[in-house]
Amino acid sequence: MSESTNRIMQVARHEYRAAVRSRALIILLAILVVATGFSVFIGATDYAAQLAEYDAYRAAAQAQGLTRIAPSPLAVLSLLRGAFEYLEIIGAIIAITLGYLSVSRERVSRTLPLLRSRPLTGTELAAGTFLGALAIFTTLIAATAVVGIVALGTIGNDWINPAQVLRLTLACVAALLYLSAFYCLGAIATAKAKMPANGLVIALGIWLLVVLVLPQIGDTLDADNQLPGGLFQALGLNHDGEIAVLTHFTGYEQVRTGIEEASLAKHFERFAFAMSDVKERYRPYGLPWLLNETRHDIGWLFAYAAVLFLGLRRTLTRQQPIPTGGNS
């Protein structure tokens, strides 16, 4: 391991340990895991009943010698919808809080000069804190996923198969990118603000806009959302038919899409919902088709995370380790 990598890993480890010692963060993490567990528990209980009904139908059909048996309309991964929605909302708050704590801890305790009087560059500091945050998010997402999978298997009586594990893993990667972007946002806002708490308020304001306001506007303007169950489904149109109709409303759709594209949360939601069968229209398709269909969303998530990380690196590199003005 090179000296630079070693320093980055030390900062990452330091960041991780400091974060898990934060009571506020632990409370938020507990809320997320409990909310997820509860949501999946409720869904899985209902799912178990539906699955039993389908199994009974299937057994009866086989007993009567039917050769064409309708496939199960159930999608076990879709029960994780609540988990993704909690990650989208509460997870983003946790990520912002973590970014805030990471920067404010050094600022308030004035330990930055200690770090910067060592052979540690701003880039190494940024990479280390970012990696530490990634480790925390990985723990958080893995815990959420394990709670979900175990609940589906034990309560819903349907253990997910390897192909579903792969899709769930991809959705978790998207969640990691999503949370990393909000972490960087919280850290940048805190480092740039004169008072760390002001940075937190600004970052939460942006969260409100990106996670709640913009997607709501985009959803409200979505033609498919004008009828329960979907306008295009009511019209008996498939995905190609939907696209054919929307070509007549390109200007309107461009504005609406533009609003949605601006929302990081929407990209995460689209990708995660596609991977976890939440959207019924995606269910008939295989992974390659799904990846092609959602490539822009994962691309945007990656771009947001990368740009915000570069912003964090720039901010920490330029951050004065001592207050300007000096004692003497």
Partner 1 sequence: MSEPVIELQGLQHRYDTDLVLRDVDLSIGEGEIFGFLGHNGAGKTTAMNILTTLLEPTGGTATICGYDVVTDRREVTRLIGYLPADVRMYGHMSAAENLEFLAKLSGVPDARAAARETLEYLGCADLAKRRVGTFSTGMRQRIGIAQAIVHRPHVLFLDEPTSGLDPMGVRQLRETVLQLNRDLGMTVFMNTHQLNEVSKVCTTIGVLNHGELIYNDSIEATMRRFPDEASLEDIYVRVGDLAS
Residues whose CB is less than 8 angstroms from the CB of residue 163 and which lie 6 or more positions away in sequence, other chains included: 287
- Closer residue to partner 1, CB minimum distance, 65 or 119: 119
Residues whose CB is less than 8 angstroms from the CB of residue 311 and which lie 6 or more positions away in sequence, other chains included: 184, 188
- Closer residue to partner 1, CB minimum distance, 14 or 283: 14
Task: Give min distance, CB of 312 to partner 1, in A.
Answer: 19
Task: Give min distance, CB of 30 to partner 1, in A.
Answer: 20
HSE-CB at 309 with a 13 A cutoff on CA atoms is 21
- Of 223, 230, 266, give the one whose Cα is nearest residue 246: 223
* Interface residue list for partner 1 (CB under 8 A): 3, 6-7, 10-11, 14, 18, 21, 109-111, 113-121, 320-322, 324-328
Task: Give min distance, CB of 118 to partner 1, in A.
Answer: 4
- Closer residue to partner 1, CB minimum distance, 6 or 225: 6
- Closer residue to partner 1, CB minimum distance, 12 or 145: 12
- Closer residue to partner 1, CB minimum distance, 10 or 233: 10
- Closer residue to partner 1, CB minimum distance, 115 or 206: 115
Residue showing tokens 């050769």: 67
- Closer residue to partner 1, CB minimum distance, 113 or 241: 113
Residues whose CB is less than 8 angstroms from the CB of residue 13 and which lie 6 or more positions away in sequence, other chains included: 132
Judged by DSSP in three states, 313 sits in helix
Task: Give min distance, CB of 221 to partner 1, in A.
Answer: 48
Rounded to an integer, what distance in angstroms lies between the CA atom of residue 108 and that of residue 112?
A: 9
HSE-CB at 215 with a 13 A cutoff on CA atoms is 17
Task: Give min distance, CB of 205 to partner 1, in A.
Answer: 30
**Which token pair is 15?**
């960041």
HSE-CB at 67 with a 13 A cutoff on CA atoms is 0
**One-letter amino acid of 41:** F
Rounded to an integer, what distance in angstroms lies between the CA atom of residue 162 and that of residue 149?
A: 12
Task: Give min distance, CB of 120 to partner 1, in A.
Answer: 5
Task: Give min distance, CB of 269 to partner 1, in A.
Answer: 37
Rounded to an integer, what distance in angstroms lies between the CA atom of residue 143 and that of residue 160?
A: 16
Task: Give min distance, CB of 54 to partner 1, in A.
Answer: 53
Q: Is the CB of residue 112 less than 8 Å from the CB of residue 319?
A: yes
- Closer residue to partner 1, CB minimum distance, 21 or 248: 21
